[in-house]
Amino acid sequence: MEITLEHLLEARPRIAFARTRQFAEKQPPIVDTATPELEDHHREELAEWQAKAAQGDAYAQWMMGRAAEKNLITPGGPEAADGWYRQAAAGGSPQAINDLAVALHRRCDPDPALGDTLVAEYEKAADGCVAEALCNLGLVFHHYRGYTGRHKGNVFFEEAQAEGVAEAAALLKENQTGLKVPSN
């Protein structure tokens, strides 16, 4: 099987945290920004995605965000990626809506108002059929609603697990084994 540029860029919506404990300890998850080695056909694919992104294709703009994270385009880096994600979100990309909310979520800010913002954004992404957004909703309820949000958070983990999100199963197991989640 040929590896496409989408595979190299890990073109899948992000999960905010691999473990609830990371948030509780204010340890934002690490995003792999290592620049992959591109073959000539990958460079051609990247040029095609860039052309589509320049024409306003929201999915292509999301892909350019991923390429910016991996420093495959100039400018690169997290700020450039967020700029592409904003464009893609404005164009209706549920993946980009999710990933912009993840960038905000990773700040580990305990402000309850941020929790409300994240719920709204992840709900938009989930409505756009982004299963990972369901997992992120579960994280928000654990992170910002304390003990009272734990049950609802686990329900979102179960829904994400049913949609095939592997991380959701791990988070559900972790949270059902008595891990103390942050309370506000």
Q: Collapse the DSSP code of 140 into the 3-class scheme (helix H, G, I; strand E, B; otherwise coil) and give the result.
A: helix
| Each residue's pLDDT expressed in tens, for the chain with a length of 184 residues | 678 888 888 888 889 988 778 888 888 888 888 888 889 999 999 999 999 999 999 999 999 999 999 999 999 998 999 999 999 999 999 999 999 999 999 888 888 899 999 999 999 999 999 999 999 999 999 889 877 888 999 999 999 999 999 999 999 888 776 544 444 3
- pLDDT recorded at residue 1: 67
- pLDDT recorded at residue 141: 93
| Joined tokens for residue 17 | 């945290």
Query: Which parts of the chain fold into alpha helices (H)?
Result: 5-8, 20-24, 40-54, 58-69, 78-90, 94-105, 112-127, 131-144, 146-162, 166-176
| Joined tokens for residue 112 | 């309850």
- pLDDT recorded at residue 12: 85
Compute the distance between CA of residue 16 and CA of residue 71 in angstroms, rounded to an integer.
21
Count Cβ atoms within 10 A of the Cβ of residue 68 and give its class: 0-12 exposed, 13-18 middle, 19 or more buried: buried
Q: Is the CA virtual torsion 4, 60, 70, 140 positive or negative? A: negative
Domain coordinates in residue numbering, the chain: 40-92, 111-184
- pLDDT recorded at residue 178: 56
